[in-house]
Amino acid sequence: MDTLVPVDVARADIYSAATLESAACETRNMTDSAETPTLPETSARWGRLLVVLACVLWSTNGFFVKWPVFANWPDDTRGLMLAFWRNVFASAVLIPLVRRPAWDWRLVPMSLSFTLMSMTFLSSMVYTTAANAIWLQNTAPLWILISGLWIYREPFDSRNRIPLVTGLSGAALIIACEVYQQPSATSVLGVLHGAASGLFYAIVVVSMRRLRHLNSAWLIAVNHLTAVVLLAPWILTQTPLPQGIQWLVLIAFGVVQMGIPYVLFAEGLKHIPSQEGAAVGLLEPVLVPIWVFLAWGEVTSWWTMIGGVIILVGLGWRYLRQA
C-alpha cells in the first residue's frame, strides 16, 4: 500500500480536508469499470480541467473563514461554528450521491476524527494565517507514513524519504517561528490547532482506506453528518444563529467550497490517473493564501512561505514523478 498520500483539503479542508482525496479516488469504483492504461487525450483534458476546478474551489476555504462578515463571532468559538454550518450545507450536496450505505464499526473512529479535523483546521484559520493552517494540515501524509511504519509494520518505500524529511522540516520551521517570533497565545493556539488537524486528517485518510470496500460517497456523507450531529447540541443552544448575509456566505461555504468540489474531483478522476490527480491537487495549498491576500489583505510571513515551499517540494517530488 502506498503509505504517503496527498492532502487537498481542505481539505480537507478538509476535509478539510478538507477533501479526502484518497477517498475521492475510490469513487471510480462506482462506475464498475476498470481504469484503462491509456486514456483518450480529450477525455484526459476534461478530467484535468475538472480536477483543477475542484482544487480551486477547495482553496477558497481561507477566503470564507476570513470573511469580515464573521468578525462579530468570538474567536474561541468561530471555528466550531463555521465547521458546523459548512458541514450542514455540504451535506445537502453529498447525501444525494450516496449509494449502498452499510455499517462498519470503523465508521466511528473515522467520522469522529473527521469532526475533530474540521474543528481544529477551521479554528487554526481563525487564530493564525490561512497559510499556516493549510500547510500544517498538509503534514497529514507524514503522519500516515509514520503510522504505516510503526503501527501497520509496512515496509519503508525509499521514495518517501525526501517527502518525510522536507515535510517535517517545513512544519518545524513554521511552528518554531510562530512560537518564537510571534509568541502570543493566539498564534500558538493557531499552529497547535493546525498541527492537530494534520494528525486527525491522517486518521481519517487511513480509516477510509480501511473502508475502501464501502461506497465512497457514503463514507464522505457519514463524515459530514457525524460532524453536524455532534456539534448541533452545542452550536444550536450556546451560540447565536447566523444573521442576514451570513446565511448566504455559509451556504456558499458549504456548497461551493466543500460539496461541489467533491463531485468535480470524483468525476475528473474517471478520466485521469489518480497519481496525476494527486499532483494537480498540490495547487490547493498554494492558492489558499493567494485568495486570502487578494480578498482581505492577509500577508503570509516569510517563515511560512519558506516552510510551505519545503513541504510542497517534498510532496511534488513524490507525486509529480508519477503523474
Give the DSSP per-residue string, 212-243: TTS-HHHHHHHHHHHHHHHHHHHHHHHSPPP-
Q: What pLDDT score does 257 carry?
A: 96
Reduced to 3 states (helix: H, G, I; strand: E, B; else coil), residue 103 is coil
Q: What is the pTM of this model?
A: 0.83
- The dihedral formed by the CA atoms of 280, 172, 258 and 67, expressed in degrees to the nearest 10: -120
Residue 285 in contact with residue 47, Cβ under 8 Å?
no
Q: What is the pLDDT of residue 38?
A: 53
- Cβ-contact 137, 65 below 8 angstroms: no
One digit per residue, the tens of pLDDT, for the chain of length 323 reads 333 343 433 333 333 333 343 434 443 343 344 444 455 778 888 988 999 999 999 999 999 999 999 999 999 999 999 999 999 999 999 999 998 899 999 999 999 999 999 999 999 999 999 999 999 998 887 888 887 777 766 676 667 777 778 888 888 898 888 888 767 888 889 999 999 999 999 999 889 888 989 988 899 999 999 999 999 999 999 999 999 999 999 999 999 999 999 889 888 888 887 777 777 878 889 999 999 999 999 999 899 999 989 888 887 777 666 55
Q: Tell me which long-range contacts 155-160 makes (C-beta under 8 A, separation of at least 24).
A: 157/2, 157/3, 157/4, 159/318, 159/321, 160/3, 160/4, 160/318
Rounded CA separation 284/193 (Å): 19
Predicted local distance difference test score (pLDDT) of residue 180? 83
Q: Which residues pair with 298 in a beta bridge?
A: none
